[in-house]
């Protein structure tokens, strides 16, 4: 009896040792980082910088593979792939988490944030930081916010007043707020994956879209949209996310190093994003392919009032506390 117990314990020890060695033999921890935009965008650059810094500082311990342009997963399947540990890092736009939390819908509300600085203040404050943890029960943990920029409206015709959008169909990200926003204008929203936007505009499946300058320029959307109105009506930012079951199993010292790298990359992306969008706006104007229109104060106010009812509709789902926190970050207080 004693002998067989001893044999079993020895066997268990041998198995444990084998599996520890096995873990080492498996080589570095692999982090697949997938995203849907081009390399020459704020997110694309951020992913490549993350890969470079990991290669420099954690060689042999962690290996990062970056898959841009929806080449591994796209809008339709990337979050499920993350939850199943088939991919370990993503940075979806904040509009793409509606299935997992309603609170992040605050970022889609039109004309809520005056500019990217206001968005930045909200993300840094307690409520914004809490939202990073709002999906942990669904196997999604937020590691950082990354900026892209404010969205502009593009279309096959000039859009100067909100009534100009009526009857047109617009491609949207999968967000109920964005759906309501276009319905409020009498327009037809159509959810399409980012990878399909160029073709949908080219074929006339939709006549308009909303994107930051960097996404318009890097996907040549201006070549199929003769008019772009500089509305800055909403934000397109990202949450860098992982699967907590993967992330918290990374040995502590390595995870701390990775988190330090993420802080550095976040700082770089967020510093660069506004400059990149400004440069891409200028490139689009210089191309002469698409006409860039500006709104005067009266027109802008008309768009704001037309879209404003969307706020009330989503306030309960988002939560009065989140709404209140978001409304305190603009420099100019509004009624």
Of residues 194, 213, 303, 311, which one binds ligand LMR by CB under 6 A? 194
Ordered strands of the 235-242 beta sheet: 62-67, 29-34, 89-90, 235-242, 141-150
Q: Which residue, 152 or 299, is less far from ligand LMR as judged by CB?
A: 152
Q: Which residue, 14 or 76, is less far from ligand LMR as judged by CB?
A: 76
CB of residue 249 to ligand LMR, shortest distance in Å: 27
Q: What radius of gyration, in Å, describes the C-alpha atoms of the chain?
A: 23
Q: Which helix (H) or strand (E) holds 45?
A: helix 42-57
From 138, 152, 326, 147, select the one nearest 234 (Cα to Cα). 152
CB of residue 125 to ligand LMR, shortest distance in Å: 24
* Residues 253-292: x where in contact with ligand LMR by CB under 6 A, - otherwise, as a string: ----------------------------------------
Q: Which residue, 120 or 175, is less far from ligand LMR as judged by CB?
A: 175
231 near ligand LMR (CB under 6 A): no
Q: Which residue, 279 or 302, is less far from ligand LMR as judged by CB?
A: 279
215 near ligand LMR (CB under 6 A): yes
Of residues 29, 34, 36, 135, which one binds ligand LMR by CB under 6 A? 36
d(CA 334, CA 125) in angstroms, rounded, equals 20
Q: Which residue, 236 or 240, is less far from ligand LMR as judged by CB?
A: 236
Of residues 37, 47, 68, 228, which one binds ligand LMR by CB under 6 A? 37
Helix (H, G, I), strand (E, B) or coil at 62: strand
CB of residue 103 to ligand LMR, shortest distance in Å: 18
Q: Scan for tokens 């079993």, then name that residue.
A: 8
Q: Which residue, 162 or 212, is less far from ligand LMR as judged by CB?
A: 212
Q: Where are the beta strands (DSSP E) in 163-282?
A: 169-172, 188-191, 208-211, 227-230, 235-242
Of residues 173, 175, 181, 299, which one binds ligand LMR by CB under 6 A? 173
Q: Which residue, 148 or 290, is less far from ligand LMR as judged by CB?
A: 148
d(CA 325, CA 9) in angstroms, rounded, equals 57
Handedness of CA 114, 90, 170, 178 (dihedral sign): negative
Contact 239, 94 (CB under 8 A): yes
Q: Which residue, 154 or 173, is less far from ligand LMR as judged by CB?
A: 173
* Residues 97-136: x where in contact with ligand LMR by CB under 6 A, - otherwise, as a string: ----------------------------------------
Handedness of CA 153, 159, 164, 170 (dihedral sign): negative
Contact 239, 142 (CB under 8 A): yes
Backbone angles phi and psi of 25, in degrees to 5: -65, -25
Q: Which helix (H) or strand (E) holds 253?
A: helix 252-287
Kindly determine how many residues on this chain lie close enough to bind ligand LMR according to the rule CB under 6 A: 9
Q: Give residues in contact with ligand LMR (CB under 6 A).
A: 36-37, 93, 148, 173, 194, 211, 215, 236
């Amino acid at each position: 009896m004693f002998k067989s117990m001893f044999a079993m314990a020895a066997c268990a020890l041998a198995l444990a040792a084998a599996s520890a060695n096995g873990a080492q033999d498996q080589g570095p921890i692999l982090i697949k980082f997938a995203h849907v935009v081009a390399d020459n965008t704020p997110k694309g650059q951020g992913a490549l910088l993350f890969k470079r810094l990991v290669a420099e500082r954690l060689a042999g311990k962690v290996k990062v593979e970056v898959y841009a342009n929806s080449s591994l997963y796209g809008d339709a399947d990337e979050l499920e792939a993350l939850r199943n540990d088939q991919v370990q890092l993503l940075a979806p736009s904040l509009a793409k988490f509606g299935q997992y939390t309603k609170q992040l819908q605050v970022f889609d509300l039109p004309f809520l944030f005056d500019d990217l600085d206001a968005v930045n203040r909200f993300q840094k404050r307690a409520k914004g930081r809490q939202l990073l943890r709002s999906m942990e029960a669904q196997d999604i943990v937020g590691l950082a916010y990354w900026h892209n920029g404010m969205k502009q409206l593009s279309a096959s015709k000039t859009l100067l007043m909100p009534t100009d959008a009526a009857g047109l169909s617009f491609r949207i990200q999968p967000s109920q707020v964005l759906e309501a926003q276009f319905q409020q204008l009498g327009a037809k929203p159509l959810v399409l994956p980012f990878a399909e936007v160029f073709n949908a505009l080219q074929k006339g499946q939709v006549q308009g879209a909303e994107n930051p300058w960097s996404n318009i320029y890097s996907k040549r959307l201006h070549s199929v949209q003769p008019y772009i109105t500089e509305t800055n009506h909403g934000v397109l930012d990202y949450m860098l996310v992982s699967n907590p079951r993967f992330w918290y199993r990374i040995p502590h010292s390595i995870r701390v190093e990775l988190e330090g790298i993420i802080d550095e990359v976040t700082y770089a992306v967020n510093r660069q994003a506004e400059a990149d969008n400004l440069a891409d706006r200028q490139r689009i104007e210089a191309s002469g392919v698409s006409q860039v229109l500006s709104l005067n104060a009266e027109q802008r106010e008309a768009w704001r009032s037309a879209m404003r009812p969307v706020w009330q509709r989503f306030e309960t789902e988002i939560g009065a506390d989140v709404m209140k926190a978001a409304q305190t970050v603009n420099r100019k207080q509004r009624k």
